[in-house]
Structure 1
C-alpha cells in the first residue's frame, strides 16, 4: 500500500499534523494553568 504520492495521503497527513499540534497546544495550556 503506497499512498505517498497521492493527494489523499498528503491531506490526511496535514489533518493529522494539525490535530497533533492542537492537542499539544491544549496540553501546554493545561500545564501552564496547573503551574499558576
Structure 2
C-alpha cells in the first residue's frame, strides 16, 4: 500500500518511523489491514 505508506511517513518523522514500525507490527492489523 504505497498510499498508506506515504501518508504514514509524512505524518511521522523518519526517526519515529522505526518506533512506529515496531508498534505497527502488533497493531498492523488495525493500522494497515493490507500489510
**Superposition TM-score, scaled by structure 2 size:** 0.34
Q: Which has the higher contact order (CA 8 A, sep 6+)?
A: 2
